[in-house]
Amino acid sequence: MHEATAHARAKRLANPRELIYNKTIPFKGAYSLSSRPIGVFDSGVGGISVLRSMRALLPDERIIYYGDNLNAPYGTRPEEEILALTLASVEALLARDVKALVIACNTATSAAVHELRARLTLPIIGMEPALKPAALASSGGSILVMATPATLRQKKFQELMRQYGDRAEMVPCPGLMEFVERGEIDSPALDEYLKDRFAPFDNVDAIVLGCTHYVFLRRAIRRAMPGALLFDGNEGTARRLQDVLGAENLLNSEGPGSVEFITTGDPDVFMPIIRM
């Protein structure tokens, strides 16, 4: 598809149908740059795992969470589609006057963060599979990196593999985020999926959860590969956000914090899942 056409289509698709959940407390008083919200984006509900780490560290911040559930999954799409969908979703957040962006999606980060940083001047925090801490902590066994096919084939991840991947095995997981999107975080079908994925590997001592959706599947993953340490980038991302906001003098000292959720998908499916 031509890039302009793909972008126009993605923009149309990413237009939120409805503002479904609004806990924002209206801001009273002088309007300062630091009191503007932080925009958090994911292809679906996975980024809510990042949002939780952000809320724990930065409880005074106003946050707008944008899930492009209508167009999920991203990780089995071609790069140009992921880029166009990400740009359209980010545009929707920029229209809400965000002071910083968190791309709470490994897939969208690897396909679009470069382009976003070239186009925008606000702070942009992306995700990357936590292979480095896993490599430093593991004790000689192999490290499985679970991620979407799109994340694993990107240059950004291949570079990480060159640096820290001598004991790492890539485990593409098409179809896995869909379990989380439908709220299925514990089921025989999920156990079966994971058993199948892990069957070729033994002597595994670390697993990298290289997709923000998979953080919701910790329990099932532990059951399928007992003894392996699990790593995700969520806390690191929240800390990086805190550092960047601090350095830019953008931390909100006025509070109170709040979260507003927007989905391009079906609110009746999204709402119960965000409470998971």
Q: How far apart are alpha carbons 226 and 257 in whole angstroms?
A: 38
Q: Which one from 64, 98, 105, 125 is the annotated catalytic residue?
A: 105
Binding status of residue 154 toward ligand DGL by CB under 6 A? no
Q: How many helices, marked H, and strands, marked E, lie in the chain?
A: 12, 10
CA distance 127 to 86: 14
> Residue 71 Cβ, how far from ligand DGL at the closest point, in Å?
8
The residue (of 44 and 165) whose beta carbon lies closer to ligand DGL is 44
Residue 107 binds ligand DGL, judged by CB under 6 A? yes
Among residue numbers 3 through 22, which ones bind ligand DGL (CB under 6 A)? Answer: none
3-class secondary structure for 9-65? HHHHHCCCCEEEEECCCCCCCCCCHHHCCEEEEECCCCCHHHHHHHHHHCCCCEEEE
Helix (H, G, I), strand (E, B) or coil at 171: strand
User: For ligand DGL, which residue has the nearest CB?
Assistant: 75
Q: Which of 53, 151, 154, 252 binds ligand DGL (CB under 6 A)?
A: 151
Between 197 and 213, CB nearer to ligand DGL: 213
The stretch among 39-47, 83-91, 189-197, 221-229 that binds ligand DGL (CB under 6 A) is 39-47
Q: Which of 224, 225, 147, 137 is nearest to 188 (CA)?
A: 224
Contact 36, 230 (CB under 8 A): no
CB of 110 to ligand DGL, least distance (A): 8
Helix/strand/coil for 248? coil
Active site residue 211: yes
Contact code string over 157-186 relative to ligand DGL, x by CB under 6 A: --------------------x---------
Q: Which one-letter DSSP state was computed for residue 260?
A: E
- Copy the structure tokens of residue 210: 């290289």
Beta carbon nearer to ligand DGL, 72 or 204: 72
- The residues pairing with 263 across neighbouring beta strands, listed in sequence order, are 18, 67
Q: What x/- string results for residues 193 through 222 when contact with ligand DGL is judged by CB under 6 A?
A: ------------------xxx---------
Backbone φ and ψ for 100, nearest 5 degrees, come out as -155, 160
Is 173 in the active site?
no
64 contacts ligand DGL (rule: CB under 6 A):
no
Q: Taking the complex as a whole, how short is the minimal distance between the CB of residue 147 and ligand DGL, in angstroms?
A: 6
DSSP category for residue 122: S
Residues that bind ligand DGL (CB under 6 A): 42-44, 46, 72-75, 105-107, 148, 151, 177, 211-213
